[in-house]
């Protein structure tokens, strides 16, 4: 199939940036979205043009590197998948596809579709350490974890830090990401000693990074490739309120 792509091109953070239209021909429905961009880039390189910069690493939905807003939807309209897991069979011949980077003040564009997500790293850093004995691994059954808590904590821990939640949120809020990280430890016995101070520090760092405020619209969880539920945001709010009321 043949497609028309409208791609955000921006040569570095000081460039103003613009949408540029490209044609890609003979796209196979078996290609992933990133492979389709590879085809475009190979042609651009042969023609002596600058290839479109985009982030990627694992190309199997586990690293969280890839991510772009495709036709107004973070990671494209296919649910519960990353951009690298989106296949061209979901498009048809003649489609016009708009491709933009995550848009958030806290995620400045590095080049084209690549944004700087170190704000997320600083939120994680603000979370600090957990008090567990380092050294040799303890016997696995020495800390009992209820099944329901283990399941919910594991669900939260599947967040890959891609940033789609921020990109999709009408308020540009990072609540789903931060809440996933807080919930993951807050439900486990190992997370208890620093539970409240951690929630407080991470929420304050999130606000300091310039993300917007959450109004519970649910756009984040709808695009999240890991389906992180909104319950995590309630957990974050509960832990934060408890810490703030002390």
Partner 1 sequence: MAVTGAVLVLFLIGHMLGNLKIFLGADSFNHYADWLRTVGSPALPNRTLLTITEIVLVVCVVLHMWAAVSLARRAAKARPVKYAAKRKSQANGYAAQTMRYGGVIIVLFVVWHLLDMTFGTVNPKGGDATPYDRMIAGFQPDRWWVALFYLVAMVMIGLHLRHGLWSAFQSLGLTRRPRVRGLLQKTAVAVSAVLVLGFVAAPVCILIGVVK
Binding residues (CB under 6 A) for ligand SF4: these are 159-165, 176-177, 180, 224-226, 228
Of the candidates 192, 186, 243, 207, the residue with the CA atom closest to the CA atom of residue 126: 207
Shortest distance (Å) from residue 138 CB to ligand FES: 32
Of the candidates 171, 163, 192, 179, the residue with the CA atom closest to the CA atom of residue 234: 179
Burial of 170 (0-12, 13-18, 19+ CB in 10 A): exposed
Decide whether 10 or 178 has the Cβ nearer to ligand SF4.
Answer: 178
Instruction: Find which of ligand SF4, partner 1, ligand FES, none residue 56 binds, CB within 5 to 8 Å per kind.
Output: ligand FES
Question: Which string of x and - marks every residue 50-69 that binds ligand FES (by CB under 6 A)?
Answer: ------xxxx-xxxxxx---
Shortest distance (Å) from residue 222 CB to partner 1: 4
Residues 6+ apart with CB under 8 A from 239: 182, 186, 195, 196, 198, 199, 200
Instruction: Find which of ligand SF4, ligand FES, partner 1, none residue 61 binds, CB within 5 to 8 Å per kind.
Output: ligand FES
Instruction: Find which of ligand FES, ligand HEM, ligand SF4, none residue 216 binds, CB within 5 to 8 Å per kind.
Output: ligand HEM
Q: Does 11 bind ligand HEM (CB under 6 A)?
A: no
* Secondary-structure percent of the chain, ordered helix, strand, coil, rounded to 5: 40, 10, 50
Q: Does 101 bind ligand FES (CB under 6 A)?
A: no
Residue 243: both structure tokens together: 């810490």
Instruction: Find which of ligand SF4, partner 1, ligand FES, none residue 164 binds, CB within 5 to 8 Å per kind.
Output: ligand SF4
* Segment 69 to 98, residues that bind ligand FES, using CB under 6 A: 82-84
Positions of E strands within the chain: 3-9, 18-24, 69-70, 73-74, 96-100, 109-111, 114-115
Residues that bind ligand HEM (CB under 6 A): 215-216
């Amino acid at each position: 199939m043949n497609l028309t792509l409208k791609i955000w091109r921006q040569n570095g953070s000081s460039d103003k940036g613009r949408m540029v239209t490209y044609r890609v021909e003979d796209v196979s429905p078996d290609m992933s979205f990133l492979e389709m961009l590879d085809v475009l880039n190979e042609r651009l390189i042969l023609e002596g043009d600058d290839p479109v910069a985009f982030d990627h690493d694992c190309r199997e939905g586990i690293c969280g590197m890839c991510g772009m807003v495709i036709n107004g939807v973070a990671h494209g309209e296919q649910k519960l998948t990353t951009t690298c897991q989106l296949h061209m069979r979901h498009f048809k011949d003649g489609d016009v596809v708009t491709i933009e980077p995550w848009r958030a003040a806290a995620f400045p564009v590095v080049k084209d579709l690549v944004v700087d997500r170190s704000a997320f790293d600083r939120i994680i850093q603000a979370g600090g350490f957990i008090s567990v004995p380092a050294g040799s691994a303890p016997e696995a059954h020495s800390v009992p974890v209820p099944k329901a808590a283990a399941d919910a904590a594991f669900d939260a821990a599947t967040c890959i830090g891609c940033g789609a939640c921020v990109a999709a949120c009408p308020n540009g809020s990072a609540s789903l990401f931060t809440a996933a990280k807080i919930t993951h430890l807050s439900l486990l016995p190992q997370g208890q000693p620093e539970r409240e101070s951690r929630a407080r520090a991470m929420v304050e760092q999130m606000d300091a990074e310039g993300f917007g405020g959450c109004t519970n619209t649910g756009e984040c969880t709808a695009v999240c490739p890991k389906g992180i539920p909104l319950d995590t945001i309630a957990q974050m709010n509960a832990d934060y309120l408890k810490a703030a009321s002390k």
